[in-house]
Structure formats: structure tokens, C-alpha cells
Amino acid sequence: MLNKERHYAILTWLNRYERATVNHLAKLFGVTKETIRSDLNTLSREGCIERCHGGAIIKRRIFHTQSVNNLDTNIMHFFDNPPSKKTVKSQHKGRKMKGKVCILGSFNVDIIANVDRFPQSGESIFSENTVIGPGGKGANQALAVSKCHVKTHFVGKVGNDQFSQLAYEHLSSSDIGSFMLYQDKQSKTGTALIYVCQSDGENMIAISPGANQSITADEVEAITSEVRSSDVFLTQLENNLPATFRAIEIARRCGTKVVLDPAPYSPHVINCLQNVDFLTPNETEASLLSGIQVTDISSAKTAAKAIKAKGVGQVIITMGAKGALIYDGHEFTHVPALKALCVDTTGAGDAFNGAYTAAMAKGQSILQAVKFACAFASLAVEKEGASNMPEYKDVLTRLAQYEHITIMTEKN
């Protein structure tokens, strides 16, 4: 275990149990007492813990009030969500958690303009209203996972600005069980400018990735223990690709299943597909990956075969109102979409990916997981805001509609 990885593990342990002895930590991590003393002295110098006779105590107040600590990897906050927060405590009350998902991904501040229609080139139009809130594919997908009664750990990076505090407050007040938030002092927090058309809920998005693009190799290596302890690792392409691809390699090495949402599309994604168990492109991304224009189920099947041939384990093409197509190399399965009163499609893909990954972490079959994800996404589009995810009990109610729908499977 690397020093930084062990430091993170020690802090996670102390956050959960508040204090620990040198002897216990040495046995827990399989190192000498001298090594643990050195670790604790380092963490104490950085203001993360207080040394006490024979061990250490977490300085929990510092994690609540400081925007940045001085740990050499510039980790902003990394700990389980504070149990003292009433919102978190009430949200988790009575839950039976099964499975674990680790998500590496983006945090963005979404600036959303609700419009009657999209503007033409060179045209100025009025917005019905404008909303600023938390977003980013990684954070949204982590929130979706957490709504499914699955242990959730999110890893992201923010900049040196006021939006970084918004990130911390959003994550710590959510259902996300734990998170590691790095900070880049030279960058701004990522932002997304979003138009949402009021007539049909469709959207147009422009992303300024900011600090999301500055995750380092050391920061990726430091999450190895979280990846190893997870059933599924979920990521996207809003972070810098070398870091993302390295994290995927770590997950493969740890024997953790990998789900990749190839968005926003990059032609370089081809370089990591052999390490991906489940790829979840939408119609546009599937078209770009395969070179085949996806317009219907038939063309989606052709595209899925072409993508599977590039080395990925299984392909799930999400098709909005047309549902989702599964291809495992032997047969195609089309899962129809459930009817929804569409308000905002901005977070539909994130909702699907988070719910699908959560279901896989619980041990469900691919078909079960896709049906669950479709039900989850159908409820998500009925809410405003990409991070506004549905409640688990409501998803189960809507999922029951599949009992009356025929699922078509076709041999390759």
C-alpha cells in the first residue's frame, strides 16, 4: 500500500471510529508501529488529526470548516459523510445497504437557462428563469447510485474558487456515503452552461471542465483501496483521459467490474475498451464509436456489433424514448422505455448509468439492471435539474410496469 493510500485509509478509519491506537493501526494495515507513527505525525502536521498517548484522534471540526488542507496531494475533503448532519441521518435511517460502487468523475456547477426554444445562430432570446446548482456526470451518477441503497464512494476534483465550497456542501448533505474531493489551486471548478427547452425537456450543454481535467497519477493511485473494496467501478470521460484510463486499469487489476459512460465522446476511448466490462454509449456516442449512424433499433444492433468487436465486454446503447439495447456478443435484447412525463432530460443518462451500476453491484443480471435503470431514468426526466434523482421506492413502483411489457431477445 502506498503512503498516500494508507494515509487516506487511516483518515477513513479515524473518521468512522474517531480514535485508534498505533498498535491497532499497525495490525490493521500490516505495517510496523514505526511506520504508523510516521503516518500519524504527517497527518498531524497537516492538521488532519490530533496525536494522543499511544494513538490519534480525528479533528472532525477541521473537515467541516476548512476549504482546503495542506496535504501534499491537495486533498480537499476525504471522509464518510458526517453522521451529525440530520439530513444524512434521516435519509439513511432504516436502509439495508447492499453492494458498493466507487465513482471517479466530474463535479460541475450547472448554470441552467430554461427557454421556450433553442436560440438560432446570432440570436438573443429571453430565459424563463436561470438556476445555478450542483452537477457534473460523476457527481450526478454518484447521487443516482446512492439513491439505490448501495454504498457509494465518489472521487472528484474542484478548483480554487467559491464553487468548491458548493461542491463540498452538496456532497456532504447528499446520500453519497463517502467521498474524496481533491482541489487544484491553479484551476477553476468545472462549469456547465445548459439550455433546457420547456416544450419537450430537451437540452443543449457546453462544458468548461476546469479542475476536472487536472487529476494526477498519484491522486488516482490513492483511491486503489476504495476501488478494490467495491463491486463495480463507474467512470466517464469528463476528467483528463490519462487519469481515467489509469483508474480503469486499477479496477481491472483489482478484479472490480468496470462500467464506462463514454461521454463526452473522445476518439481516444478506443485505447481503454479492452479493460471495460460494460460500455453505455447513447445513440450519438454509439454512432461515433462504430462509424454507423444510429437512428433505430436495427442500426443500433449493427453499431453494437461493431463496438463489441473493439474489445469491450458488453455494450448497452441507451436510446432515450426508444429504450436500451443490450449486446453481449451472442444475442441482442431490447428493453423498451417506460412512459414518462418529460420535464428535463439533462440528467437522464447519468440517472441510467448510476442506477444500472447500482443494480449490478447488488448482483442483479444485466437485463434486470437495465430494466431498473430504465425505470429510474424515466422518473428522473420528470424532475427539473440533472442532480434531482428519484426515490428508491418510487423506482420499484414504476419498475413493476415491466411485468406487462414483452422484452425481445434475438440471437446474433
Catalytic residue among 175, 218, 350, 394: 350
Does 226 show up as a binding residue in the annotation? no
Does 385 show up as a binding residue in the annotation? yes
In the prediction, which pLDDT does 149 show?
Answer: 95
Give the residue ranges of the chain where pLDDT is below 50: 60-93
In the prediction, which pLDDT does 250 show?
Answer: 98
Does 145 show up as a binding residue in the annotation? no
**Tens digit of each residue's pLDDT (9 = 90 or more) over 326-342:** 999 999 999 999 999 88
Under 8 Å CB-to-CB from 69, ≥6 apart: which residues?
46, 47, 48, 62, 75, 76
Does 139 show up as a binding residue in the annotation? yes
Does 318 show up as a binding residue in the annotation? yes
Under 8 Å CB-to-CB from 365, ≥6 apart: which residues?
none
In the prediction, which pLDDT does 80 show?
Answer: 47
Give the C-alpha separation, 390 to 147, whole Å: 7
CA distances in angstroms from 263 to 17, 55, 353, listed in the order given: 38, 45, 11
CA distances in angstroms from 275 to 45, 247, 392, listed in the order given: 39, 10, 31
In the prediction, which pLDDT does 95 show?
Answer: 64
Under 8 Å CB-to-CB from 396, ≥6 apart: which residues?
none
Give the C-alpha separation, 65 to 119, whole Å: 42
- Find where cell 468545472 sits: 190
Q: Write out the H or E segment, with its range, that includes residue 183.
A: strand 178-183
Give the C-alpha separation, 246 to 269, whole Å: 12
In the prediction, which pLDDT does 1 show?
Answer: 57
Q: Which long-range contacts (CB under 8 A, 24 or more apart) does 113-122 make?
A: 113/193, 113/194, 113/195, 113/196, 114/196, 114/198, 115/195, 115/196, 115/197, 115/198, 116/197, 116/198, 116/199, 117/197, 117/199, 118/195, 118/197, 118/204, 119/195
In the prediction, which pLDDT does 311 show?
Answer: 97
What domains, with CATH codes, occur in the chain?
1-66 (1.10.10.10), 105-411 (3.40.1190.20)
In the prediction, which pLDDT does 16 show?
Answer: 67
pTM (predicted TM-score): 0.78
In the prediction, which pLDDT does 47 show?
Answer: 74
Give the C-alpha separation, 353 to 144, whole Å: 8
Give the C-alpha separation, 255 to 394, whole Å: 33
Does 277 show up as a binding residue in the annotation? no
Give the C-alpha separation, 183 to 79, whole Å: 15
Does 34 show up as a binding residue in the annotation? no
Total Cβ atoms within 10 A of residue 87: 12
Backbone φ and ψ for 364, nearest 5 degrees, come out as -75, 160
Q: Is 296 a catalytic residue?
A: no
Cell triple for 324: 436500451
In the prediction, which pLDDT does 383 show?
Answer: 84
C-alpha 107 chain-centroid distance: 9
SS3 206: strand
**DSSP strand pairing (232-235 vs 100-104):** parallel
Does 394 show up as a binding residue in the annotation? no
